[in-house]
Structure 1
Amino acid sequence: MSVSNGPVVVGVDGSPSSLAAVDTAAGEARLRGVGLRVVHAFIWPLMRGVPLGPATAGPQDGGLRPIAERTLAEAVTRAHAAEPAIEVTGDLVTGEPLTILEAESRRASLVVVGSRGMGGFVGLLVGSTAVHLAAHGRCPVLVVRGAADPAGPVVVAVDGSRRGTAAVEFAFAEASSRGAELVALHAWSGWTERGDDDPGHPANLVDSENRVSATEERLLAEALAGHRARYPDVKVVPRLVHASPRQALIEASSSARLLVVGARGRGGFTGLLLGSVSQAMVHHAGCPVAVVRGLEE
């Protein structure tokens, strides 16, 4: 479970993507009024002849550890420059990056990662870090990708499930802290499995789409009701779309400043578990993506 007053944690490896994540993470820390913890995880190679420190005949700043220290220092300096008022700490940690960030998530309010990495995160293609953390971490994960529209809305995928409530709550809080409009998008395609009727039966085909649409509209309204009362400052635009959830969210993300999705879904996103809708978003969304796990996950 995430710690609401815990720091924002950002994983860095020196890649342009991770440095962009530092900028975003610093802004998130400012919005939350918490500190920023910059983490560089590295697995030291167990090979003869590979110096962790400077080689005897080499420059004093050579070797793997000095390189890792410079990577961390550069990220910390960048965070200070982006948000001078926040507290920034840096930590060089020996270990497998995913394991380290998973552990960090247990005391963080948010973990931020870039969409592509190198160095300490070598071989981790877009989405792999986010999917792992969303499945095993204990706080929301923000993947910095695409181009956020600073004037765009926060978009949240609403599926009406109890599990998805955490994503809706997170999105309301993000919209409130940014002074942004919130687009609550509920996409449904094909037939749902609600009710006892068989939608494939000829007798049920008459006006069936209207009936289902009304059910989905009611589900969307109910999913937003309590959150609207807690965040009266947030302008909410409910959007019901009869389309593929993936395609609808990708299109909405093209003009958004942030896209929020649950780690798992049902209802309008029936059967789409982590690695389907959420993974598709971290691969294809046009803006940063926050993946939020339900409280019971």
Structure 2
Amino acid sequence: MANPVVVGVDGSTSSLDAVEIAAHEAGLRGVGLRLVHAFGWPSMHLPPGGYPLWNPAVAGVRELVDDALTKAEQRARKAVPDVEITREVTVGEPLMVLEIESRTASLIVVGSRGLGAFGGMLLGSTAVHLTAHGRCPVLVVRGRPNPSGPVLLAVDGSPAGEQAVEFAFAEASLRGVDLVALHVWNTWSEPVHRGPVNALDVIVDVEQLREEEQRLLDETLRPWRERHPRITVERRLVLSRVRPALIEASRDAQLVVAGARGRGGFTGLLLGSVSQALLHHAHCPVAVIRGTQRP
């Protein structure tokens, strides 16, 4: 069977919203939905040399867990009645549990904030950690998506961003909506060309730079437009600051797709500033896609 969509469940409102989105994603892909609840080990209770003999039933919280998972399953079935659902209750650190789940998932979905095991999900730890370290695309549910809006793709032209482009086209195709490919540039952007830097180049030819950025946008999209000829693609080239422009554009979108890291920045970082800004401030759900190359 194809890899499932996995969603973290903790009983919070944000978690249930994530379950609904995850059910739709599973339905679109024709795969199963896996509901995962994790219990973190309380470090103060760890005995020397081993793990405590603890499980949800002994701790008296099995009923609470079952109730949270039952409500999550009901929410999923209301959204997509025929989705195949499995449950998993795991004892372990939630971050590690979901990272392990990402190895066999087609998509991980998490809420923007949570309670209990997945408490403080955004942006204390879980969402940022998963988008930086997960082995599959991560969709963070936040904001109020426009159900009739397009998929918004943040285009930066980097080799690592190619998988984000592929994911965005696939999402637009599955959802049957348009794709808006937004490339934001400015006169202090990292140049597209490579080579020795001449001090005289500090004087920027804005029109030439605009043409180069337009070429980058067109070349990035060309192979994917040929593979998906039925998708209507709107190419937007915007002279602005990157993060505010993307956040503003997300108001009209049903999903934003971005690579984990793009051009520029610090090579040692696993998650770029643009991705983090979207996770904190976008007006709709955000999917962050990591490239195959790892630092």
Q: May I ask how many residue pairs the two structures share in their alignment?
A: 281
TM-score, normalised with respect to structure 2:
0.89
The change in CA–CA distance for 1:199 and 1:117 in structure 2 (over 3 A counts) is farther
* The one of 178, 183, 188 aligned to 1:181: 178
Deviation at 1:189, TM superposition (A): 2.2
The change in CA–CA distance for 1:52 and 1:86 in structure 2 (over 3 A counts) is closer
Is 1:243 the counterpart of 2:243 in the alignment? no
Is 1:280 the counterpart of 2:274 in the alignment? no
Aligned to 2:265: 271
Aligned to 1:60: none
Out of 74-83 and 6-15, give the one that drifted further: 74-83
Is 1:222 the counterpart of 2:219 in the alignment? yes
TM-align CA RMSD: 2.2
Q: Which runs of 5+ in 1 are unaligned?
A: 56-62
Aligned to 1:27: 24
Deviation at 1:198, TM superposition (A): 4.3
Aligned to 1:205: 203
Aligned to 1:59: none
Aligned to 1:58: none
Question: Partners in 2 of 1:228 and 1:51 — Cα distance?
Answer: 51
Question: Partners in 2 of 1:35 and 1:134 — Cα distance?
Answer: 22
Aligned to 2:94: 97
Checking the alignment, whether the CA contact within 8 Å between 2:180 and 2:234 is kept in structure 1 is: yes
Question: Partners in 1 of 2:176 and 2:102 — Cα distance?
Answer: 26
Give % identity: 57
Deviation at 1:69, TM superposition (A): 2.2
Aligned to 1:112: 109
| Mapping of residues 93-172 of structure 1, within 5 Å | 93-126=90-123, 128-172=125-169
Is 1:68 the counterpart of 2:62 in the alignment? no
Deviation at 1:106, TM superposition (A): 0.4
The change in CA–CA distance for 1:127 and 1:224 in structure 2 (over 3 A counts) is farther
Deviation at 1:66, TM superposition (A): 2.1
Question: Partners in 2 of 1:204 and 1:73 — Cα distance?
Answer: 61
Deviation at 1:121, TM superposition (A): 1.1
TM-score, normalised with respect to structure 1:
0.88
Write the deviation string for residues 188-212 of structure 1: whole angstroms up to 9, x where unpaired.
12333334474762x7636x11111
> What one-letter code is carried by the residue in structure 1 that aligns with 2:225?
R
Q: Which runs of 5+ in 2 are unaligned?
A: 47-51
